[in-house]
Amino acid sequence: MSKKEITTLTLKPGREKSLLRHHPWVFSGAIARVDGNPASGESVDLVSAEGQFLARAAYSPSSQIRARVWTFNPSEQVDADFFRLRIKNAIASREPWLVNGITNAFRLIHAESDGLPGLIVDRYADTLVLQSLTAGSEYWKDTLATLLLEATGLTTIFERSDADVRELEGLAPCIGPMRGTLNIQPLIITENDLKFHVNVETGHKTGFYLDQRFNRQRVRALAEGRSVLDCFCYTGGFTVNALAGGARSVLSVDSSGDALALCRENCSLNDLPLDRQASLEGDVFQLLRKFRDEARSFDLIILDPPKFAPTAALAEKAARGYKDINLLAFKLLQPGGILVTFSCSGGIDAGFFQKIVASAALDAGVEAHIVEHLSQSPDHPVALNFPEGTYLKGLICNKL
């Protein structure tokens, strides 16, 4: 698309401030006028009320985020060459963080933080898994798939564009092979000398929680000789690492029987002592209360719940859930025990999450220290102009 064909979106007076700070989102309420009739995902030029060029963006007529910026450079055209360079730069930026072959599974493209809003690409061994979450990434999806194979030398891309946020973009779910043939499921990946089965067709997100890689390693270092309770364990990322670290016992809890079965398989895959691992299917909130009533206790508890608050509007309601599970966890910890607790809710920032955990400790009647702050692994970077990219918050707390 040539520049003369690009539609112009004119902002209301004073609404250009975020763009001048290079924040990549423009909300519908900031737009005064749309000159033309751009299709969903097409490129548009954003200009101030005075007609000053601000950015080139993808148009999303169905979303409250009406435009997501591709580039702030007026001379940069959004075309295949543009995406080729962005993909090349994203891949190169991962190399310093994935030295020594610590894993063959990692995030290759992290949406806005890599200058590619709405595009998530994870690599699992020789398979790429693509998520298109916005109108812009959807518009360019086939081009992006071709360029990804060109950049990686791989032949297989599987699409997992089934996240709820696609509804806000007016997009239907889309799951299935995009390029090549998917190998027999589940795939096997390696991470810090451990192996994991990953089902990219039906697993959470794109199949595995790659953002917890460094935090799993941290749990491994803390687990020796401890009795461990792994809540919301999914397919056992923390369970496997705790056992590999020499945990005395691990109880893995999740609401999904299929996930627990894969958790057990992952323990077997690594020749870990199965007599030290037990699984329990059920609602984690109810089971934590049951453990409290039974006066059970643990030396190390991991809380890695699903997203309670995808937006800030739901933060207060979600805070009650986070407080509840953390309060119960503090009660279940032995003196000197360790709580490793997380929130992946974008609507709850790190400061608010710390306040929630502090309030939980107070109501539980315990004293505790924060000994470490945790975040997402470095293949999930956060662009300084897009603080919303900091979604995973974690704390290691020591009960006194």
Q: What CA–CA distance (Å, rounded) separates 303 from 215?
A: 12
254: amino acid identity, one letter = D
Q: Which of 94, 92, 137 is nearest to 119 (CA)?
A: 137
Residue count of the chain: 400
236: left (phi over 0), alpha (psi -120 to 50) or beta: left
344 noted as active-site residue: yes
Task: Find tokens 């970077």 and name the residue.
Answer: 381
Residue 170, SS3? Answer: coil
C-beta of residue 49 within 8 angstroms of C-beta of residue 13 = yes
C-beta of residue 46 within 8 angstroms of C-beta of residue 11 = yes
Q: For 67, phi and psi rounded to 5 degrees?
A: -145, 140
Helix (H) or strand (E) holding 120: strand 119-124
Q: What CA–CA distance (Å, rounded) separates 258 from 104?
A: 24
Contacts of 383 (CB under 8 A, 6+ apart): 112, 113, 114, 115, 389
3-state helix vs strand vs coil in the chain, percent to 5: 35, 30, 35
The number of angstroms, rounded, from the C-alpha of 268 to the middle of its chain's C-alpha atoms is 27
Contacts of 244 (CB under 8 A, 6+ apart): 194, 220, 270, 272
Contacts of 4 (CB under 8 A, 6+ apart): none
Instruction: Extract the tokens encoding 383.
Output: 């662009």
**Among the options 233, 263, 267, 344, which is catalytic?**
344
Instruction: Extract the tokens encoding 352.
Output: 């608010």
Q: What CA–CA distance (Å, rounded) separates 344 from 4?
A: 42
Q: Which of 276, 202, 206, 192 is nearest to 239 (CA)?
A: 276
- Where in the sequence numbering do the catalytic residues fall? 344
